[in-house]
């Protein structure tokens, strides 16, 4: 067993964070072959439209928001990893317009190769974020495994009529993105030891930031929402376009990026997900006037990325100025079009 000081968590795993997910195409192939039991009388939203979380009616209009996310280390500092994994798991509840109540931990830990204090630090990071989210840790499960994995299953609530799904984006809506893009390339650079965590402060601050809305934000102005995570901006946007039966147009120049993003992509700090995310959207994507590096931003797998919010044009200025108090880089990045031609257009 090595001493805690010398251990860099990203060097203990093959793939980090949300880039380690199965691709959308693989998931569709697997799940399409199996008939799972349904409870249509109370399950309002399930996984069939690749929404962020499930909505289960308990006593109308109250619904449960249920979700689960876990992954391998994406940064080297154990406490930071715990913070990012927790903020990322809570995000799917916020992406449904819900308020988290309770969480259960999922922890795989390599007892043979890592000292137990690393586990304590990961859980300390989890507590940091759950206290910010006013969410109680009520249980969990651990397993001795070859590589560290951590995440949460989170339960929250939302009024059924006020829930944000990915199915109600309307033609004419403006699209707001709350956080910059580029955590995938940044974490690939860290894993290859091309940078250290100190050079990724903006990315880490963004990944540990909760996707909760600022106080006073009018939740009713949002028609549809999702968070941008492992499938990248293009993948998550396509899931909204398909579920809402619309097309989406993005302006590349409006997309908020981290200072390092294009440079990291130019240097080839990429993951397998950059390719699989492109494969998923390719037949529905029309790109004009972008360099290869710029196009790769669309497929960059985000860990604990921002929310994509679909807001009526009349409300977008107010929403954006409120959001900027919490998310300084929040920007209007595109609009919703009728569905004719490719589902995703970017210029
Ligand atoms: Co999500
Ligand atoms: Co998720």
Please name which ligand lies nearest the alpha carbon of 21: 2
Task: Using CB atoms within 10 Å of the CB of residue 17, give its burial: 0 to 12 exposed, 13 to 18 middle, 19+ buried.
Answer: buried
Please name which ligand lies nearest the alpha carbon of 88: 2
Give catalytic residues, as residue numbers: 18
Three-class DSSP category at 281: helix
Q: What is the pLDDT of residues 132-175, one digit of tens each?
A: 999 999 999 999 999 999 999 999 999 999 999 999 999 999 99
Kindly state the tokens that stand for 24: 């959308």
The CB density around residue 257, as the number of other CB atoms within 10 Å, is 17
In angstroms, what is the span from residue 128 Cα to ligand 2's centroid?
Answer: 20
Query: Average pLDDT of each block of 10 consecutive residues along the chain (347 residues)?
Result: 74 75 84 86 90 92 96 96 98 98 95 93 96 95 94 97 97 98 97 96 98 96 97 97 98 98 98 95 96 97 98 98 97 97 96
Kindly state the tokens that stand for 7: 């251990």
Three-class DSSP category at 249: strand
| Residue among 56, 283, 67 at smallest CA distance from 158 | 56
In angstroms, what is the span from residue 306 Cα to ligand 1's centroid?
Answer: 10
In angstroms, what is the span from residue 339 Cα to ligand 2's centroid?
Answer: 26
What pLDDT is recorded for position 176? 98
In angstroms, what is the span from residue 272 Cα to ligand 1's centroid?
Answer: 19
Q: What is the pLDDT of residues 267-318, one digit of tens each?
A: 999 999 999 999 999 999 999 999 999 999 999 999 999 999 999 999 999 9
Q: What is the pTM of this model?
A: 0.93
φ/ψ of residue 43, rounded to 5: -85, 110
Please name which ligand lies nearest the alpha carbon of 52: 1
> Whole-angstrom Cα distance, residue 307 to residue 94?
9
């Amino acid at each position: 067993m090595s001493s805690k000081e010398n251990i860099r968590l990203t060097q203990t795993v093959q793939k980090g964070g949300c880039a380690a997910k199965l691709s959308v195409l693989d998931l569709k192939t697997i799940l399409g072959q199996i008939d799972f039991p349904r409870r249509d009388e109370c399950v309002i939203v399930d996984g069939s439209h690749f929404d962020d979380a499930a909505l289960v009616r308990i006593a109308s209009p109250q619904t449960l928001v249920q979700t689960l996310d876990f992954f391998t280390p994406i940064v080297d500092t154990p406490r930071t990893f715990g913070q990012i994994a927790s903020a990322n798991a809570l995000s799917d509840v916020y992406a449904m317009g819900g308020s988290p109540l309770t969480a259960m931990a999922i922890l795989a830990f390599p007892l043979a190769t890592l000292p137990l204090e690393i586990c304590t630090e990961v859980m300390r990071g989890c507590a940091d974020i759950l206290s910010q989210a006013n969410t109680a840790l009520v249980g969990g499960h651990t397993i001795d495994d070859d590589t560290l994995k951590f995440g949460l299953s989170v339960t929250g609530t939302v009024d059924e009529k006020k829930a944000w799904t990915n199915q109600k984006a309307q033609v004419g809506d403006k699209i707001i993105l709350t956080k910059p893009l580029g955590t995938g390339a940044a974490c690939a650079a860290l894993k290859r030891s091309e940078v250290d965590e100190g050079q990724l402060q903006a990315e880490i601050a963004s990944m540990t930031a909760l996707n909760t809305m600022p106080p006073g934000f009018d939740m009713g102005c949002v028609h549809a929402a999702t968070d941008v995570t492992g499938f990248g901006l293009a993948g998550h946007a396509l899931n909204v376009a398909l579920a809402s039966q619309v097309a989406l147009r993005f302006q590349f120049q409006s997309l908020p990026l981290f200072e390092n993003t294009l440079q990291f992509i130019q240097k080839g700090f990429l993951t397998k997900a950059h390719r699989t995310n492109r494969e998923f959207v390719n037949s529905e994507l029309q790109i004009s006037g972008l360099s290869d590096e710029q196009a790769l931003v669309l497929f960059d797998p985000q860990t604990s990325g921002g929310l994509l919010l679909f807001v009526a044009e009349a409300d977008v200025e107010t929403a954006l100025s409120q959001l900027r108090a919490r998310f300084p880089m929040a920007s209007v990045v595109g609009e919703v079009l009728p569905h004719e031609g490719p589902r995703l257009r970017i210029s």
